[in-house]
Amino acid sequence: MSLLRTVRRSPRVLVAALVGTAAVLLPLGAGHAAPSSAADPGDPGRLMLVLDSSGSMAEPAAGGGTKIQAAKTALHHVVDGLPADAEVGMRVYGAKVFSRSDTGACTDSQRVVDIGSDNRADLQSAIDAYKPYGETPIGYALQQADADLGGTGPRSIVLVSDGVPTCPPDPCKVAREISRGGVDVRIDVVGLDVNSRAASALRCIADKGHGTYYDVDDSKELSDALETLATRAVRPYEPTGAPVTGTADPTTAPTLAPGSYVDEIGGIETTTGTLHYAVERSVPGSSITVAATILTPYYVDRSQPADKWDRIDLQLSTADGQSCGTDAPASVRSMDATVLTATVDADDCPDADQLIARVTRTDGADFPTPLELVVAEEPPVLDAATLPEGVSGSIAWQAPPKGPSAGTVTGGRSFAEATPISPGAYRGTIVPGEVQSFDVQVGWGQQLAATMTIPDPSGRLAGELSQHGSPFGMGIYNPARADAVAVADGSPPHSSTIYPTDGGQVGAATAPVTYRNRELVGDPLRAAATAGEYTIVVSLADSRARTSYEVPFVLRVGVTGSVVPAPQYDLATEEPTETPSTASASPTDESPAAAEDEPTAAAKKDDGNGPVVLLAGGGALLLVVLAVGALLISRRSRRGA
């Protein structure tokens, strides 16, 4: 395997939940960015609140007061808690026309506040004017909300209703049409004290809108449901890269230079379930590596069960059809892994100037999912035979140190935004549907081990975990995103997933990192063939959760072994011919454009660990970073770093 280079009850509780919902549902679409919006991964998206103003909202709420009173109190605080840059609007339906027999009843929906970030006073005034009155034209209101949000970029709709739709069009069909705008569109629905007929209709809206439905009976349950909607969208996994569109026909495949890309791959047995991309070799004798990453079903559509499976197949071949390598990881469940990654190198085709990468959904989900692609080109090594041999025999478990916590840490939302940490112990929390990622530097000759410990829960948390059997997962991926969890003698019994109703621990380790591990049989061993940033990904999947809960954990990380000399790469024939372009790379502060004042010589020192090499030629950009004596991944700038 070759290393890649890429470019957080009562009315008070209800208030808190709604504040969180409006504040953090905004990035939801960004977390599922479609190619149309991937060029601006920092776009926080737009949110439209769609509120039921039908006459039934004047009815008593099970927890006391009326439904409309609870909503007003909460919404005022929503506005108070909005981030300064939050793009939010508000739409109501059933507010003007009293009866379905009256003209205009089924088109009775008004955008009472335009989407914007400078509209707080308008939102407060609209809340004061919010009153129960007429019918329930949900389908029409959804159509108008979709138009309000526009046709591109991350978009979210939050629908709160207490009744069955009373007007055409069918809101379930409308939700399906809206969701066809891409995976960056989401409709979440809460049904308040509704009968079975209404619940069925509202659930269909959420299902077809790639969202989540919550059926609640009183203000307390409404609070919990909205809180869950909020926390699930706090830190969604965020696919990143330059937008690209793969083709069904390999002869018309787009050409990818080394870099990071984002696309969308269709469901199984669909015309977009197989996509092709062309990869050009710019360095003679180099090693080309391609990685394809998809989100598992639960993390694409939270209405999906956490035990739903998915699978992809990645093949590399020459333009004339000669096979250069394939990777088809076993089908994986969302509870076991947030992402599924296939990684292939083209060492079997060292002389091919162009390669064709073919990505296919071969199992599981029948709906689209974001697809990340990473292309890397690694220079040849001068004398690989003189390097230490790959791992032989069993791997010994080297437990992370048990020292005091180094502090509180929150992981990043994706590979590209992983939080960098050093060996040590860290405290954190995680909520249902959340993904957290951490980067750890591992040098040549070193081994990474990590554990995630969930304490014995008590009180409400114990009830939640006991009821749902919430699966916690942890994985370790090499800089090329390949699964690097190797079986180690003496390691914790759980290396991927635990259900800690009474507390528990999951632990995993890599093999010692050696260049010639790539010659071995067994993907986890081959994955430990590159030094650099290894990513620890932890997650909590609970598709049955109707209430929000926060779980504390302790993450312990250890890196053992002495650093050995790095491989010597053959760079003699490569000279930069021009200032590299970032046209094919994902937007990043760490891209060559961000380093325009740096020298473009063939090599320079980087923290004393090795040269940084910029290679450009044949119109294709090659950025190779040699750190700890090896190539490193060039990450996106991390928000809040």
Q: Are 471 and 581 in contact (CB under 8 A)?
A: no
Positive or negative: CA dihedral 334, 336, 339, 344:
negative
Task: Verify that 85 and 213 share a domain, yes or no.
Answer: yes
Residue 1 lies in a domain: no
Structural domain total, the chain: 4
Q: How far apart, in whole angstroms, are the C-alpha atoms of residue 461 and residue 446?
A: 38
DSSP H helix total and E strand total for the chain: 12, 32
Look-up of token digits 């405290």: 427
- 402 Rama class: left (phi>0) / alpha (psi -120 to 50) / beta: alpha
Task: Verify that 205 and 306 share a domain, yes or no.
Answer: no
Q: Judge if the upstream peptide bond of residue 169 is cis by omega within 30 degrees of 0.
A: yes
DSSP state, 66?
A: B
Task: Verify that 58 and 126 share a domain, yes or no.
Answer: yes
* Radius of gyration from C-alpha coordinates of the chain: 26
Task: Verify that 365 and 412 share a domain, yes or no.
Answer: no
DSSP state, 502?
A: T
* DSSP-assigned letters across all residues of 67-123: HHHHHHHHHHHHHHH--TT-EEEEEEESSS---TTSTTGGG-EEEEEEEESS-HHHH
Residue 269 lies in a domain: yes
* DSSP-assigned letters across all residues of 432-484: TT-EEEEEEEE-TT-EEEEEEEE----HHHHHHHHHH-PPEEEEEE-TT--B-
- Nearest Cα to Cα of residue 232 among 219, 217, 208, 213: 213
Domain end residue (candidates: 232, 257, 285) = 232
Task: Give the Å distances, CA to CA, from 641 to 179, 462, 588.
Answer: 34, 34, 13
DSSP three-state, residue 46: strand
Task: Verify that 69 and 209 share a domain, yes or no.
Answer: yes
**Residue 94 belongs to a domain with what CATH number?**
3.40.50.410
Domain end residue (candidates: 211, 232, 253) = 232
DSSP three-state, residue 241: coil
Residue 216 lies in a domain: yes
Kindly provide the b/e burial profile for residues 25-53, where b requires at least 16 CB atoms within 10 angstroms of the residue's own CB. Answer: bbbbbbbbbbbbbbeebebbbbbbbbbbb
Q: Check residue 13 and give its pLDDT.
A: 32
Task: Verify that 171 and 204 share a domain, yes or no.
Answer: yes
Q: Check residue 494 and give its pLDDT.
A: 84
Q: Are 139 and 175 in contact (CB under 8 A)?
A: no
Which residues, 6 or more positions from 311, have their beta carbon under 8 angstroms from its beta carbon?
328, 329, 330, 331, 332, 340, 361, 362, 363, 364
Q: Are 633 and 6 in contact (CB under 8 A)?
A: yes
DSSP three-state, residue 192: strand
Q: Are 306 and 232 in contact (CB under 8 A)?
A: no
> Running along the chain, 641 residues long, what does each successive block of 10 average in pLDDT?
31 35 34 32 68 87 76 71 75 88 90 90 88 91 93 80 88 90 73 83 86 69 58 62 94 94 90 94 87 89 83 93 89 86 85 94 88 90 87 86 80 87 91 88 96 86 74 90 86 82 88 90 82 93 72 93 90 44 34 32 31 28 27 31 32
Relative to beta strand 369-378, strand 259-265 is: antiparallel
Which residues, 6 or more positions from 299, have their beta carbon under 8 angstroms from its beta carbon?
236, 237, 334, 338, 339, 433, 435, 539, 541
Q: How far apart, in whole angstroms, are the C-alpha atoms of residue 512 and residue 31?
A: 34
Residue 3 lies in a domain: no
Q: How far apart, in whole angstroms, are the C-alpha atoms of residue 628 and residue 99?
A: 72
Residue 46 lies in a domain: yes
* DSSP-assigned letters across all residues of 545-598: --S---EEEEEEEEEES---PPPPB--TT----SPPP-TTSPP-TTSGGGGTTS
Look-up of token digits 């970073």: 625
Q: How far apart are the first and last CA of the chain?
A: 31
Task: Verify that 465 and 603 share a domain, yes or no.
Answer: no
DSSP three-state, residue 231: helix
DSSP state, 250?
A: G
Task: Verify that 226 and 256 share a domain, yes or no.
Answer: no
Full residue range of the structural domain in which residue 528 is found: 385-560
DSSP three-state, residue 58: helix
Q: Check residue 523 and give its pLDDT.
A: 74
Task: Verify that 108 and 179 share a domain, yes or no.
Answer: yes
Look-up of token digits 């292939």: 344
Q: Check residue 430 and give its pLDDT.
A: 86
Domain end residue (candidates: 232, 260, 287) = 232
**Residue 354 belongs to a domain with what CATH number?**
2.60.120.380
DSSP state, 369?
A: E
Burial class from Cβ neighbours inside 10 Å (0-12, 13-18, 19+) for residue 343 reads buried
Task: Verify that 46 and 76 share a domain, yes or no.
Answer: yes
Residue 565 lies in a domain: no
Task: Verify that 131 and 85 share a domain, yes or no.
Answer: yes
Task: Verify that 154 and 26 share a domain, yes or no.
Answer: yes
Q: How far apart, in whole angstroms, are the C-alpha atoms of residue 156 and residue 50?
A: 10
